[in-house]
Structure 1
């Protein structure tokens, strides 16, 4: 895909016709059961902030459909806030799971942001992933607690 030119032919689109890109990130079909994923459109170095996502804070006591719950981050744990979830704008709620992941995430409580940070060198074209099971935005976990809580079978 030539980022300097307008989208002009079918080679510019993924199989489902959906591609979103910025200068740093691309959302496209993974070609797997996972569906869409977020990919690096440049190289990122270990420790580099890949994305800063504004968050929408949602009280935990609200009854939300499972389709929404799977998009939320535990702001209570991440930002040491009281009984809140965070919905990440930008691409933050679109990162797929991997164990270990190549990103960790952390809260900027005052800025109401989620920061997604490379934990290894990430090369252009590589899918960006987070670990859904790791507590507090970590990289790896030895359990599937998030998937079990959500009633979802992990996709390998």
Structure 2
């Protein structure tokens, strides 16, 4: 896939909504049942190089929303920055480095009204109320469970 190719954002046909939780903050919920391997979102990213991020970004709220990325840090646009953490996530993500995108895919069937959550990895800056800590990857650059799609 080249950078000139159009990527159809067909995932927006899903019935999703943002809701606020007093502890977690805003999160993404589904209004319909989603089956495993459903593409939920394709988020374009804004890339911050390492120097720019070290000088500015890490001192702002962006520090809580960025992903490790080749050459720096990425801010996911769209719903990509709205997924809350769970140590047993129901959504995984795939970094598409060449196209500067992150794809979010369901890891299991998800029931109507359920929150869609990803894993933020091992280095959390908050107390984790999730019950199961066993599914988090030891690779801090890829919290769960996919590798970059370099094709």
| RMSD over equivalenced CA pairs, Å | 1.9
Instruction: Establish whether residue 154 from structure 1 lines up as the match of residue 131 from structure 2.
Output: no
Q: Kindly name which structure, 1 or 2, has the bigger radius of gyration based on alpha carbons.
A: 1
**Deviation for aligned residue 1:48:** 1.4
Judging changes above 3 Å, is the alpha-carbon distance between structure 1 residues 43 and 111 closer, same or farther for their aligned structure 2 residues? farther
Where relative contact order (Cα < 8 A, 6+ residues apart) is larger, the structure is 2
Within the candidate set 109, 119, 141, 1:131 is matched to: 119
Count how many residue pairs are aligned between Structure 1 and Structure 2.
114
Deviation at 1:56, TM superposition (A): 0.8
Aligned to 1:60: 50
Gaps of 5+ in 1: 1-20, 77-82, 134-144
Structure 2: gaps spanning 5 or more residues: 1-11, 130-151
Query: Could you tell me the TM-score, scaled by structure 2's length?
Result: 0.68
Q: Cα gap change, 1:24/1:111 in structure 2, threshold over 3 Å: closer, same or farther?
A: farther
What stretches of structure 1 move > 3 A for 4+ residues in a row? none
Aligned to 1:118: 106
- 1:75 matched to 2:48: no
Structural mapping, 1:84-99, within 5 Å: 84-99=72-87
**Contact preservation (8 Å) 2:29, 2:113:** yes
